[in-house]
Amino acid sequence: MKNICVIGAGTMGNGIAHVFAQTGFSVTLVDVSQEQLDRALATISKNLDRQVAKGSLTPEVKEKALAGIVTHTSIAAGVQNADLVVEAATENVDLKLTIFRQIDEHAPAACILASNTSSISITRIASVTKRPEHVIGMHFMNPVPVMKLVEIINGYATSAQVSAAIVELSRQLGKVPCVVNDYPGFIANRILMPMINEAIYSLYEGVAGVEEIDTVMKLGMAHPMGPLQLADFIGLDVCLSILNVLHDGFGNPKYAPCPLLVNMVTAKKLGVKSGEGFYTYTPGSKDLVVSPRFLK
Ligand SMILES: NC(=O)c1ccc[n+]([C@@H]2O[C@H](COP(=O)([O-])OP(=O)(O)OC[C@H]3O[C@@H](n4cnc5c(N)ncnc54)[C@H](O)[C@@H]3O)[C@@H](O)[C@H]2O)c1
């Protein structure tokens, strides 16, 4: 594989483009918004500079990586020479199905189509293409240049050759691939989201406060971040939507989202991105301050 097309230039798309370009691949980055593409290139450049400053990258590799990224606002143009497309657009089923129909129509026949979705069924995405055996999940973690894991999701029809090719490619990127099958939440979110939900239930039922819950998990289980802080970081709306995928997909009440989480999302208290969740966030400050709502 030489030519990689990344669809979506947001948080994940710019990180994915960054690691492919840094490894020497030619990257085409596609987004509907030119402004977002410009922002993504600036972010990639800044993050590469940080690696150069740390000595983990030479200035030559940085320049080569940046020169290896071209941008497009059209999927048809972006995928036309791709060996692999990694879709990292907004998490919305209808949007992803539309994007995959377009990619399938315009990408070369041998091209592998991957999605970075956190929760949408790979089998469902594959079903709208004429090449379901070439469709696979490639779930990078945030921030992509730093996090080692790639959760690789085999859809019902994904071929063994395609899966093996993506495992090999992930290793080439310096990542550690883990192959899992396509069931709701895959592995990462199937295990993480019920833990976050249970932490919210513990708060809701008054078992302990925000600080106590997070401290128990940080100091007792050696988690780098407590589950409530992590939920704020991921976005409470994202957590709710993944819990709903688990709940709908398995039909098991154990995945029912906590009513407190539902209320907070309805009230637009979404965590870091809205300035308030379980904690309050002030631009420029790294202090972890529990939201007044949860102070005793
Ligand atoms: N943010 C995370 O921590 C994280 C982690 C793992 C996986 N994911 C998954 O990665 C994907 C992207 O998430 P994100 O956080 O980067 O989102 P984001 O909102 O930061 O970026 C999404 C980008 O997709 C673009 N887009 C929307 N419609 C498009 C179209 N038709 N064609 C091209 N681009 C289009 C948007 O303009 C935006 O720039 C989602 O599927 C999400 O579930 C996110």
3-state secondary structure of 252: coil
CA distance 292 to 296: 9
Alpha-carbon dihedral 233, 33, 103, 149, rounded to 10 degrees: -20
State mean pLDDT over 189-202: 98
Q: Structure tokens of 163? A: 């899966």
Q: What is the pLDDT of residues 47-63, one digit of tens each?
A: 999 999 999 999 999 99
Q: Structure tokens of 191? A: 């295990």
Atom of ligand 1 nearest to the CA of 140: 6
Q: What is the pLDDT of residues 70-103, one digit of tens each?
A: 999 999 999 999 999 999 999 999 999 999 999 9
Active site residues: 118, 139, 151, 189
Q: Structure tokens of 66? A: 């940046």
Q: Is 8 in the pocket of ligand 1 (CB under 6 A)?
A: yes
Q: Do the beta carbons of residue 137 and residue 182 sit within 8 Å?
A: yes
pLDDT at 286: 87
Q: Do the beta carbons of residue 179 and residue 152 sit within 8 Å?
A: yes
pLDDT at 55: 95
Residue nearest to atom 30 of ligand 1 (CA): 32
90 CA from centroid of ligand 1 (Å): 4
Residue nearest to atom 7 of ligand 1 (CA): 118
pLDDT, mean over the chain: 97
Q: Is 203 in the pocket of ligand 1 (CB under 6 A)?
A: no
CA distance 280 to 142: 21
- Give the whole-number percent of the chain exceeding pLDDT 90: 98
285 CA from centroid of ligand 1 (Å): 26
Give me the residue label for tokens 């979705």.
117
State how far Cα 236 lies from the chain centre: 15
Q: Is 52 in the pocket of ligand 1 (CB under 6 A)?
A: no
Q: Is 115 in the pocket of ligand 1 (CB under 6 A)?
A: no
* pTM (2 d.p.): 0.95
87 CA from centroid of ligand 1 (Å): 8
Q: Structure tokens of 187? A: 């592995």
Q: What is the pLDDT of residues 226-277, one digit of tens each?
A: 999 999 999 999 999 999 999 999 999 999 999 999 999 999 999 999 999 9
CA distance 246 to 280: 28
Q: Is 27 in the pocket of ligand 1 (CB under 6 A)?
A: no
pLDDT at 44: 98
